[in-house]
Structures are given as structure tokens and as C-alpha cells.
Structure 1
Amino acid sequence: MLLLFTVTFLLAVTLTGLIRRYAIKNKVLDIPNQRSSHSIPTPRGGGLAIVLAFCIALLWLFFTGQVTAATLALFASSLLVAAIGFCDDHGEVAARWRFLTHLLAAIIALELFNGMPILLVPAPFDLLLGRFSLDPGWLAYPFGVLFLVWSLNLFNFMDGTDGIAASEAIFVSSALAGYLFFIDQSLFNIALSLAAACSGFLIWNRPKAKIFMGDVGSGFIGLLLGLLILLAAQQAAVLLYCGLILFGAFIVDASYTLAVRLFSGQKWYAAHCSHTYQHAAKRHGHLPVLLAAWAINCGWLLPISLWIFTRPSHALAGIAMAYLPLIYLAYRFQAGQTEFVVS
């Protein structure tokens, strides 16, 4: 376990440094514009190091008999997202082709699932339905596709300030690994490998970032985290709710911002810099926002997810408790509004 984390971490650190040199040499740079949170041209596409380090770790787990061929194929579907992201980092790809690739990857992943997770019925709906769990049947698949596509896209939306996306991936995958350690050793090793790969990248991406993740990494990680949550829920239904709570900072910010832009008549599909964390970074700087994100994750969302893990019937109350303060933060920082008025 320690060896796997260490080797994957060092591999990601080394690969990120090499990719940075490649990006500088070949001018694969993120040039600042009016939507940017940075002020100087910065290499991008460093998320490729996460993809490579994670895939190497996954192959090692497969060849040592710790991961099955079916699981390997399931996670390989995320390489489609990494590939279209790599192309987009090197030259803009039309949004429709990115979306179709994301949709295809999600459909392939769910086709490789060995049955969708049973849905835990939390209080008070258990009293109304007279049961504590529910098999959603075929409805699970369209909702599963929607969840995976939204997961990878919201992660892409939220990769806009130094270190925030890598930190979120480390937090969610590490927390899931903590739960899975007692439930499924194979999934534990996969979650740990993702945390290690993202930790190695964060060495280069922490404020002030020397390289950005790019679409090659953000979409790939978003899909992986979505898959991990669904796979964990297969082993213990309550982990679906735990995963949604752990992912809460990104889910709320991206969803609230999109809703505001949509209902205010803005071009919601256009690039922008109006997320909660982006407005906060303009006011306070990248490092304070990153530290605040870690504080919210570790001091608020993690304890609530632990509470729900031990008391599954309180799942809806836990999600409400986790999300409401985050919604208030989005409101206070005027998420979704192009013009940010400092108050």
C-alpha cells in the first residue's frame, strides 16, 4: 500500500516536470485573457502526468492480481475523455465533439458495469415506501450516464485556480479510499492510486502554479471520481450519499453557477470566470482560496459524510446540512454573475 502510493506519487512528480518542459518547448501555453485567473502565460496539459501515472499503477495492480480485467476495462473508458482533452489542450476542439466523446465514454463505462448500485432509501421516504432500499432497474442507467457526464464536466468547470482541482481529487479519492479499506481492497487500491497521482501533480500545480492541469486531466479525473462513487455504492449503498457529500464543494459551486447563468439569460455554455471560487480568488488570492477549500472539505464535509456512513437513514439530512452553507457562500460571492461587486 505505501509502496504503491510512493511510486505513483514520484512517477507523477517526474512526469509533470517532463510534460512542463515539453509544453514550454512546444508553446502549449494558457495565455491570459479577460476570463483568466492568472496573469502570465503558463504551460498547460500537465494532467497528462496524472493519466499516465494512474494508468501505470492500474496496470501494476492488474498484473499482480489485485484488479480484474473487467475493472481494468471499465476504467480504460476514461481514456477517451483524456484523449479528447489532450487534443483540446493542443488546439481547440468543438464543444459538440467534446460532449459526444464524454457521452460515449459514460455509456461505455456503464455498459461494463456489473449491475448498477441499489439505491438506499433514507428517512422519511423509507416509511412512505415501506422499505430501506430500492432497485431502480433500467432507470439507473440514464441517470448513471447523466451523473458521469456531469461529474467530468463539473470537474472541468472547477479547474480554474491554482491547485483547487488536484486538491479536490486528492480529498475525494482519499476519503473514499478510507471507506473502501474496510469494504473492498481492490477499489481501495484504485482510489489510493488516483490520490497519489494527483498529489504528485499538485507539487507543480500549487500556488503559484508552474503548470496547469488542462482538459486532459480534469475530464479524466471527473469521470474517474464518478465511477469510484458508483462502484463504492455497489459495495455499500450509503457510499453514494457519502460520495455526493464529499464532492459537495464542486457540485454546489458548478450547479449554482450554471443555474444563475441559465436563468439570467446568459450564454451558459460560453467560457466564463464567475464561479464562487474564481470570485473568491479575485478578492483574496489563490492560496487563501485553496486553504479555505481544504478547510471546508476536511472540517465540514468529511465529518458529515462520516456521520451519514454510520447513520444511513439520515442521508438526506446530511446532504442538506452539507450543501446549504455552500449554497450561501455561492450567493455571497455572486456566483454566476459576470461582474463581481466586492462588498
Structure 2
Amino acid sequence: MDGLWIISAVVISFGITAISGIWLLPILRKLKFGQTILDIGPKWHKNKQGTPTMGGLMFIIGVTVSVVVSYMLLRFNSPLGERPDSPMIKARLLYGLMLAIAFGLIGFADDYIKIIRKHNEGLTPRQKLLLQTMFGIIYLLLLYISGSRSTVLTFPFLGSIDIGILYYPFALFAILALSNAVNFTDGLDGLLSSVTFVVGIAYMIITSILQMWEMGIMAAAMAGGCLGFLIWNFYPAKVFMGDTGSLFLGGLIIALAFGTGLPVYIVLIGLIYVVEAASVVIQMTYFKLTHGKRIFKMSPIHHHFELCGYSEVQIVVAFTLVTAVASVLAIWAVRLL
């Protein structure tokens, strides 16, 4: 019966997100909320100049409504109160959604400043990091107060280790790294939404195995929202999600990683996010150490493959398949717990 509310979360989120594009896109065009394309990017991306951005509002609305409605349906039709961990999981769902919305607001501010300035520079990196750090600390504090106090890290196929007080610096670093890694992945039409759709499906299965139906609602809503957004965002994109959408998705993925109690598993499930972020770090480090030399033609790595001659669709399909394979491994590891 609980699975019914998971399905409802997918349907509600997909429907609201897909339909909202019908009225949101004309508004974004009328307000001239178009994307500014950097000159340093692939030259053919200049054709995307002026494409409406901040489309992430579509699935922010869809996911939020879906989570609230589906949770209420689950709450009133399922004996959650009989489970001793229900209040704690409920808190993880609530605070996770709050974190995602907070990160989405950071992205909204960044996008809005870019639009007003008509330049691809919004909040400074330091301002973004400061805000992400503040919201990350608040999120971890709320989890602690709600009873989520385990300092054990579980590694896929390897076992667990209690790292004690070091868990909290690790958790904050993971929150900051993951939110920015997800943001780096948003660089091609349909890339982030396709990869994150698969991540959502993976977490739907994992939460089902763990019987964490509340967190399953969030995973389902995220998957449905990404699928609804793909109608508008797949190549050639009619709208971009902007940092409004990518940072919101980063917040949801953080919430799922910590909400399931398996934050390290995101290294497998979100393998593409990790590779994208790693490519940026490697490129910058190598550039500084070698006084201007590069390992990749361009970073993040999806641009490297573009410059190697692969089409956007080919890269999106390949990265999505890699995510699917890595997610299967993660699901297998969860079943072995």
C-alpha cells in the first residue's frame, strides 16, 4: 500500500512540472530572463544565447507540492506511528526539503543577478559558499536535534566505521562538495535532468529496500520532476533550469544521501556528479602547477567530450547509462546490508 504513495509522488510531480512549462516559459520570455553564454565555452553554444533560464522553478513547485501531498496521503492511510523511527525519518524528509528550497533560493538570487547585469556573473563564489555553509550547518543541527546522531559511515561492499565527532566536518564537506558537483553537471541540454532522473529511480528502489517510505516520496518526486522538466529541457532545450534548479536538485540529493543514512553511497549513485567535480578540480590544479597547461580540452568533463566531437545527445545518453550502471551496483550493495 505504501508503494501507492510513491507512485502518486511521481505522477503529481511530473504532471505539475510538465504542465507549468506551458505558462512559465511565456512569462520568462516576456521578462527577458534569458541565459547569457560565456565566450570561453564551445562556440556553438552561442546559439543558446537568450534561451529562458530559471526553469528550475517548474520542478521546485512540482516536487514541493508532490512531497507535501503524497506525505499527507501516506500519513493518513498508513500506520507510520507504529514505527519507532518514524518521527526521525519524517524530520529528515522535512528538513531535507527545507534545505533543497534554501539552496534553490541561493540559485534564484544568483540567476536573478546575472539577468539584471546581463552577464554570466551573479553571486560571487565566496557568497555562494558562505550561504551554502550556513544552510548546511543549520540542516545538520536540525537533524541532530531530531535524533539523527549516528556517526557511522557505511561503505558499499566494505562495511562500516564509526568516525565519531569527525562525522560532522565530513558531512558539511560532503554537503558543499555535492551541491557544487551537481551544479557543475548542468552544462548540456537535458544532462542534469536525465542523470538526476536515474538517481531518483535508484533512491526509490533503495528506500523501498530500507522501507523508508517517507524518503521514497522525496526520491519519487525528484524523479517525476526531472522527467517532466525533460519535456522542455531535452535537446534542443526550450528552457534551462539555471542555478535555481541545479542547486535545488543538489539539496534534494543531499537530503536523500543523509536521509537514508548512507551518504557515502552517493559516490556510486552520483558517480557522474563526482566525475564532473573532479574534472574541474584536476583541471584547475594541473593548470596552476604547470603554468597554463591543461589535461582536458575544457572542464567540466562534458565540455571536453563536446570538443572531442561528441554531440550533446550522445554525451547525455552515455552519462545517463553510466549513472544507471553505477546505481545498480549501489542497489546491490544496499541489498547486502
Percent identical: 23
Which position in structure 1 is the counterpart of 2:195?
A: 168
Verify the 8 A CA contact 2:67 2:218 in the aligned structure 1.
yes
1:207 equivalent to 2:230? Answer no
Structure 2: distance between partners of 1:63 and 1:303: 30
Verify the 8 A CA contact 1:29 1:44 in the aligned structure 2.
yes
Structure 2: distance between partners of 1:309 and 1:182: 8
TM, length-normalised to structure 2: 0.80
The count of residues paired between Structure 1 and Structure 2 equals: 295
Verify the 8 A CA contact 1:176 1:243 in the aligned structure 2.
no
- After TM superposition, the structure 1 = structure 2 runs for residues 1-343 of structure 1, keeping only pairs within 5 Å, are 1-37=6-42, 38=45, 39-41=47-49, 42-64=51-73, 66=75, 68=90, 71-91=93-113, 92-113=122-143, 114-116=148-150, 118-120=152-154, 133-183=160-210, 184-232=212-260, 234=261, 239-265=262-288, 274-282=299-307, 283-298=309-324, 300-311=325-336
Q: Where in structure 1 are there 5+ consecutive unaligned residues?
A: 125-131, 313-343
1:280-308 Cα distance to aligned partner (Å, 9 max, x none)? 1232111111111122222x313332443
Task: Indicate how the Cα distance of structure 1 residues 56 and 34 shifts in structure 2: closer, same or farther if over 3 A, else same.
Answer: same
Q: Where in structure 2 are there 5+ consecutive unaligned residues?
A: 1-5, 76-88, 114-121
TM-aligned CA deviation for residue 112 of structure 1? 1.6
Structure 2: distance between partners of 1:161 and 1:36: 11
SS state at 2:48 partner: coil
Task: Indicate how the Cα distance of structure 1 residues 65 and 73 shifts in structure 2: closer, same or farther if over 3 A, else same.
Answer: farther
TM, length-normalised to structure 1: 0.79
Task: Indicate how the Cα distance of structure 1 residues 145 and 23 shifts in structure 2: closer, same or farther if over 3 A, else same.
Answer: same
1:126-176 Cα distance to aligned partner (Å, 9 max, x none)? xxxxxx533222211111011011111111111100111111111112101
Task: Indicate how the Cα distance of structure 1 residues 17 and 229 shifts in structure 2: closer, same or farther if over 3 A, else same.
Answer: same
> Which AA in structure 2 matches 1:16?
G
Structure 2: distance between partners of 1:79 and 1:217: 10
Task: Indicate how the Cα distance of structure 1 residues 180 and 62 shifts in structure 2: closer, same or farther if over 3 A, else same.
Answer: closer
Verify the 8 A CA contact 2:35 2:53 in the aligned structure 1.
yes
TM-aligned CA deviation for residue 222 of structure 1? 1.0
Q: CA RMSD in A?
A: 2.4
User: Larger RCO: Structure 1 or Structure 2 (Cα < 8 Å, ≥ 6 residues apart)?
Assistant: 2
Structure 2: distance between partners of 1:61 and 1:175: 19
Task: Indicate how the Cα distance of structure 1 residues 257 and 121 shifts in structure 2: closer, same or farther if over 3 A, else same.
Answer: closer
Structure 2: distance between partners of 1:242 and 1:80: 24
